Amino acid sequence: MPMAGGNYKTTGIGESKEDALKTALASTESTCGKRSMRHVISNEETTYKGVVSEGANRPLNKVGELASFAGAWLPSLGGDDDYHVTLAFTCES
């Protein structure tokens, strides 16, 4: 989202903080890359919006991952939209 003064803001959403950050960074790289510039992040904000507490979510996701490696499926309370990472950035040459 373009903001005043040549600033931008984007939000990445993911199952983990890392996934949400990767999504947000891809947006910054795309926005600035179209202008043949690089992104410079001025602010980062991470928000957890999951159904269960963040402390309970991590072990539940890990158990689900381990079960999938063993060929089993376990229902999860986590979602692919648990974490929101919002980045404020500018494009610079």
pLDDT of residue 36: 97
pLDDT of residue 68: 60
Burial class (CB in 10 A: 0-12, 13-18, 19+), 28: buried
For residues 1, 19, 78, 58, the Cα torsion angle rounded to the nearest 10 degrees is -130
Query: Closest Cα partner for 19 from 65, 75, 73?
Result: 65
- C-alpha 85/C-alpha 45 separation (Å) is 6
Instruction: Write out pLDDT tens, residues 27-80.
Output: 999 999 999 999 999 999 999 987 766 666 566 666 556 556 566 554 454 567
pLDDT of residue 74: 45
pLDDT at 86 over 90: yes
pLDDT of residue 43: 97
φ/ψ of residue 36, rounded to 5: 55, 40
Q: Can you give the pTM of this predicted structure? A: 0.73
Give the class (CATH, top level) of 4-92.
alpha beta
